[in-house]
Amino acid sequence: MEDSESGSTVSRVRSGVRRWGHRVVGVIALATSGSRAHAQATKATLPVAPAVAPTVSPLVAPDGYGDPELLPRPSMRPTRTARAPVIDGRLDEAEWLGPELISGFRQQLPRTGYPATFPTVVRVLYDDEHLYVGAENLDPEPQRAITTGLERDFTSGDSDIFGMVFDTFLDRRNAFLFLVNPHGAVRDEQVFNDSRTVVDAWEGIIQVRTRLTDTSWIAEIAIPLRSLRFDGSKPVQDWGANFIRRVRRVNETSYWSPLERQYRLHRMSKAGTLEQLEGLRSGRNLQVKPYVVGGGSRGAQVPASAQGASHDAGLDLKYGVSPAMTLDLTYNTDFSQVEVDQEQVNLTRFSLSFPERREFFIENAGSFTFGDVQERNYRMGASLRDLTLFNSRRIGLTDDGRPIPIVGGGRLSGRAGPWELGLLDMQTQAENFGVLRARRNLWGNSDVGALVQRRGATDGSGDENISYGVDANLRPIGNLVINAYAAASAAEGAASDGIAARLSVGYRNAFWNTSAMLKQVSDAFDPGMGFVRRSGMQQGFATVGVHTRPTWRGIQEVAPYVSFDHIADEHGELDTRTVEAGVEVQFRPDGKITLEMQDQFDRLDASFSPVSGRAIPTGAYSWREASVTWESSRAKPVFWNANATTGGFYDGSRNSYGATVTWRARYDFLIEANYTRNDVHLASGPFLADVGRLRVRYSWSTSLSGSAFLQYNAQSNTMVTNARLNFRYAPLSDIFLVYTDRRNQETGELAERTLALKVTRMLAF
């Protein structure tokens, strides 16, 4: 920190550990005062009260470093109101005078554990139908607050925000999250397993109004209780909760319940508590969402049955079977409004994983997660992009992302006591997909579970694939995490059953970041509803890194690391080895540079061609490469991310470089351009693999927005144009106009041209 004592960061951290006695005194002082006592001492006497400075000294070590891990988790009691406030962004009704104040936010960045320099005052009310939140975000120059868009699910990391997260069952694991920017746009998410899985496509009904004053920007929010899931049978209940404030131009992020830098708002095991909520009623929780769609398609890759003009209709239904269990049904499912996949360059011999973008499969996706789960901000050696037992993109999509008509299906997901359950069944024109997932919560934020799934043909061919597994995700003490699974697959006509297993252990705190993993995937492992990037392998991975916070001017954090990745075939013979050393330097207020060096080995038992006509023959190859990535400050109207890699590549060399430049022309208008070039020289000849993207977004209001997305992939000679117009005319009810054009630039052949108009209407009961 800038005002810390001099000396090395490592010795400073170690000396801080030896000074815990001083911190314990601070803990006792803070605990005895309590956040509730502080709130009561600062009751509002005016419709909008100024923030009050904390009444206790910050809990810091003698070297000036605040430790959020030692601060008690705050709590407060929301106020039940007999009359609903008017949601107009003013907080001038008498109802806002009574509640306790939530204040005393503490920084996560840049000075971890210190009181926020931009105070935030929050009030929470509720009645039979809604939860109300009023937030005054004090700022001496509120007109300088940054907004990055008005569309739903705006890019929150680049914007000023006020946010909140609610753990409605107080399980310290799962939650609903809402973020609001100064112009009233909303980003909402559903979070599972204490920040492990974030479903950003989840949408809840929410009413927001914001307003700028001379000294703050205000957010007034109403959330219908039927948008959330909670146990309405309890007359009195407590919810886990936390609140965030970000001032983007100085990159200050602060929380009501303090968090270390590696955590995010949805780390519910570190959250505070809203106490004594009385008489909450969840209602019938029934939502019916019909749609109609019309348009036309043509092109060489469009099936004959889909050529020409068409129209259709369908229905989605959501019903709260119990306070914690939700039934989703869909008939004649349509995803024509979904944005196209991003074009990617693949210079490896393995398949790429593309993210799921379809709303029906994304919502409650965390209930079905099984595979190479990755703990947030841990380097784990593998992720769900390497192996996942259930991959919803295998339902209703071809391997290259073309839609296959879905007749219908259903999903039952939620919790029953300590169990988290998921049941899914979907029917396409020729196949049925069934999944059963069960997970048992242990020790607060650990779990063990099992998953069974079947993919079977319904066209009489008899094809069938069954896969199943058991897994455990444990946090036994502190920041120690253990992830493990064992899975198997069996297919009709397969020579043998396939197996996969993994055990990983990681530890991450403010200083250390280390993990190790053992993983095995047999060559016959082929889950019909999963994704496996690489089979027939045994993998060992280990990494050690540290996060230091030096006192150097302009530097926020320096994080060096080393890692070792060893992959052998099923007989133990080395296939791939990667030794990597790197360092990430984060600047103040933001921006960073990352330097990496890699020593690579790869043995090919079969030749492969990264592009047509450029084959790499069988053999053993060794090479080295170096890379640098530089991100500028995202607080500026124009910001960029540039990278370059140079070194060997099998029997030749590769120079790769690229950049993404973003221009935030206004709060409602954004242009983003990206270009990546791979200049590769092999013994079989040179080639270029380029990808270019241009994205333009404009929002007329928080309910009307448009975007255009143009992509070019030289590796496949493909040009893709996707334009979307979205009008949200009522809660969760939309009109979409979508145009897609995909063509081969070399031959001029039109692969696909589609125009679709889709109207949805959400009816809540």
Residue 304: per-residue pLDDT: 84
Residue 677: per-residue pLDDT: 96
Burial 446-472 (b: 16+ CB within 10 A, else e): bbebbbebbbbeeeeeebbbbbbbebb
Distance CA 134, CA 126 (A): 11
H or E segment to which residue 27 belongs: helix 20-33
Which distant-in-sequence residues (6+ apart) come within 8 Å of 46 by Cβ? none
Is the pLDDT score of 268 beyond 80?
yes
Given a contact cutoff of 8 angstroms between Cβ atoms, the answer to whether 518 and 539 are in contact is: yes
Residue 232: per-residue pLDDT: 82
Which region among 15-19, 378-382, 758-762 has the lowest average model confidence (pLDDT)? 15-19
* pLDDT band (50, 70, 90) for residue 34: very low
Residue 450: per-residue pLDDT: 98
Structure tokens given for 219 = 């957010």
Structure tokens given for 256 = 């009501």
Average the pLDDT over 543-559 and give the result: 94
Whole-number percent of the chain with pLDDT over 90: 70
Nearest Cα to Cα of residue 622 among 643, 646, 603, 594: 603
Domains of the chain, by residue range, sit at 9-278
DSSP strand E in 200-251: where? Answer: 207-212, 216-224, 236-247
H or E segment to which residue 11 belongs: helix 9-18
Alpha helices in 300-446 (DSSP H): 359-362
Residue 296: per-residue pLDDT: 93
Distance CA 104, CA 157 (A): 23
Task: Tell me phi and psi for residue 38, to 5 degrees.
Answer: -65, -40
Residue 155's SS3 state is coil
Burial 477-508 (b: 16+ CB within 10 A, else e): eebebebbbebbbbbeeeeeebebbbebbbeb
Nearest Cα to Cα of residue 467 among 490, 449, 484, 486: 490
Distance CA 349, CA 390 (A): 22
User: 313-322 pLDDT, tens per residue?
Assistant: 999 999 988 8
Residue 13: per-residue pLDDT: 31
User: 326-381 pLDDT, tens per residue?
Assistant: 899 999 998 888 888 888 888 999 988 888 878 888 877 888 999 999 888 899 99
Given a contact cutoff of 8 angstroms between Cβ atoms, the answer to whether 483 and 373 are in contact is: yes
Average the pLDDT over 451-474 and give the result: 94
Residue 8: per-residue pLDDT: 38
* pLDDT band (50, 70, 90) for residue 3: very low
Average the pLDDT over 195-202 and give the result: 82
DSSP string, 570-583: TTS-EEEEEEEEEE
Given a contact cutoff of 8 angstroms between Cβ atoms, the answer to whether 214 and 192 are in contact is: no
User: 692-708 pLDDT, tens per residue?
Assistant: 999 999 999 999 999 99
Is the pLDDT score of 661 beyond 50?
yes
Average the pLDDT over 723-730 and give the result: 96
Is the pLDDT score of 45 beyond 50?
no
Greatest distance between any 2 Cα atoms in the chain: 78
* pLDDT band (50, 70, 90) for residue 301: confident
DSSP string, 385-405: TTEES--GGGSSB-TTS-B--
Question: Residue type for 688, please?
Answer: L
Is the pLDDT score of 541 beyond 90?
yes
Task: Give, in words, the CATH class of 9-278.
Answer: mainly beta
Q: What does DSSP say about strands 197-199 and 186-192: parallel, antiparallel, or unpaired? A: antiparallel
Helix, strand, coil content of the chain in percent (nearest 5): 10, 50, 40
Residue 306: per-residue pLDDT: 82
Distance CA 526, CA 489 (A): 6
Residues in the chain: 765
HSE, side-chain direction, 13 A CA sphere, residue 303: 7
CB atoms within 10 A of CB 565: 19
Which region among 356-365, 474-483, 738-747 has the lowest average model confidence (pLDDT)? 356-365
Is the pLDDT score of 446 beyond 70?
yes
Sign of CA pseudo-dihedral 322, 190, 516, 65:
negative
Residue 580: per-residue pLDDT: 98
Whole-number percent of the chain with pLDDT over 70: 91
Average the pLDDT over 273-280 and give the result: 94
Is the pLDDT score of 279 beyond 50?
yes
Burial 687-710 (b: 16+ CB within 10 A, else e): bebebbbebbbbbeebebbbbbbb
Residue 66: per-residue pLDDT: 61
Average pLDDT over all residues of the chain: 88
Distance CA 149, CA 700 (A): 10
CA separation, residue 409 to residues 331, 451, 509 (Å): 7, 19, 43
CA 434 remoteness from chain centre: 26
Which distant-in-sequence residues (6+ apart) come within 8 Å of 668 by Cβ? 149, 150, 183, 698, 699, 700
Residue whose structure tokens are 């509640």: 99
Average the pLDDT over 640-648 and give the result: 97
Residue 493: per-residue pLDDT: 67
Secondary structure string (H, E, C) spanning 663-699:
EEEECCEEEEEEEEEEEEEECCEEEEEEEEEEEEEEE
Which region among 83-87, 569-573, 714-718 has the lowest average model confidence (pLDDT)? 714-718
Distance CA 119, CA 106 (A): 9
Q: What is the pTM of this model?
A: 0.83
Higher-confidence position of 323 and 144: 144
Given a contact cutoff of 8 angstroms between Cβ atoms, the answer to whether 371 and 384 are in contact is: yes
Which region among 32-41, 254-263, 564-573 has the lowest average model confidence (pLDDT)? 32-41
